[in-house]
Homo-oligomer: A and B are copies of this chain.
Amino acid sequence: MKSLSHSEENYLKEIFHLSGLTEKRVSTNGLAARLNTKASSITDMLQKLSEKKLVEYVKYKGCFLTEEGERIAIQIIRKHRLWETFLVNKLSFGWEEVHDVAEQLEHIDSTKLIDSLDRFLNYPKFDPHGDPIPDKDGNIVYRKSKIKLIDAAINSRVEIVRVNEDSLALLKFLERHHLTLGTEIDVLEKFPFDDSMSIRIGDQPETNLSKKVTENIGVKFISKL
């Protein structure tokens, strides 16, 4: 109904992300870390959001979103991902440049605007990082059969369908090594010593990817080698 502050919206969004698909309770410290604030600020805000029936909160027990809270969170995520898509597809931004601007744009309050943008972009299903874009009713189609590259089987060919956008450094690394969405990767070998992985892209020379990289890439199986 009435509109929320940027801060409140950011809290809802982060609670949604942290609680994942399950209705897992989210801890105060967990939220504090993600929102770059102190635990005491989190407590203050949770009391307010609880008052507004947007989160279920029990002292010392963490919180989770109510239905209404989740509905709002999903709409913010919809806006965020549509704007990222606009920036990349229409304004030629790099995928590592869009997140910060989208953090601002996601708070623009206009249903007509976001639905028009959705149409203008031709109802995209995924954002530039491969994350699903909720539709106007809040439905999210998660990609089934998506696994982390680190879990992909040896001697299989997989396609990159998602990257974790949280780290700017990761996105730059991937860009630099041509590891973009749609790229097909041959998984050659895994090294238990440091959990790194040797891969090949097309007929380029073989390279080694660290655990930190492979656990932040989502892929889908294409074929055996």
A86-115 interface (Cβ within 8 A of B):
87, 90-93, 97, 100-101, 104-105, 108-110, 112-113
Could you tell me the distance between the alpha carbons of A110 and B99 in the complex, rounded to whole angstroms? 12
Main SS of chain A's interface residues? Answer: helix
Q: Is A7 an interface residue (CB 8 A)?
A: no
Q: Is A120 an interface residue (CB 8 A)?
A: yes
Q: Are A101 and B105 in contact (CB under 8 A)?
A: no
Q: Are A110 and B116 in contact (CB under 8 A)?
A: no
Question: Which interface class (under 10, 10 to 19, 20 to 34, 35 or more) fits A?
Answer: 10 to 19
Q: Is A181 an interface residue (CB 8 A)?
A: no
Q: With A116-B91, A120-B90 known to touch, is A104 a contact of B108 (CB < 8 Å)?
A: yes
Q: Is A117 an interface residue (CB 8 A)?
A: yes
Could you tell me the distance between the alpha carbons of A101 and B90 in the complex, rounded to whole angstroms? 20
Chain B nearest CB from A106 CB (Å) reads 11
Could you tell me the distance between the alpha carbons of A113 and B102 in the complex, rounded to whole angstroms? 10
Could you tell me the distance between the alpha carbons of A10 and B92 in the complex, rounded to whole angstroms? 30
Q: Are A87 and B113 in contact (CB under 8 A)?
A: yes
Instruction: Give every chain B residue within 8 A of A112 (Cβ-Cβ).
Output: 93, 97, 101
Enumerate chain A interface residues (CB-CB to B < 8 A). Answer: 87, 90-93, 97, 100-101, 104-105, 108-110, 112-113, 116-117, 120
New A-B pairs, 9, CB < 8 Å, besides A91-B113, A108-B108: A87-B113, A87-B116, A91-B116, A91-B120, A93-B112, A93-B116, A100-B110, A101-B113, A105-B108
- 17 A-B pairs with C-beta separation under 8 A: A87-B113, A87-B116, A90-B120, A91-B116, A91-B117, A91-B120, A92-B116, A93-B112, A97-B112, A100-B110, A101-B110, A101-B112, A101-B113, A104-B108, A104-B109, A104-B110, A108-B108
CB-based closest 3 A-B pairs? A91-B116, A101-B110, A104-B108
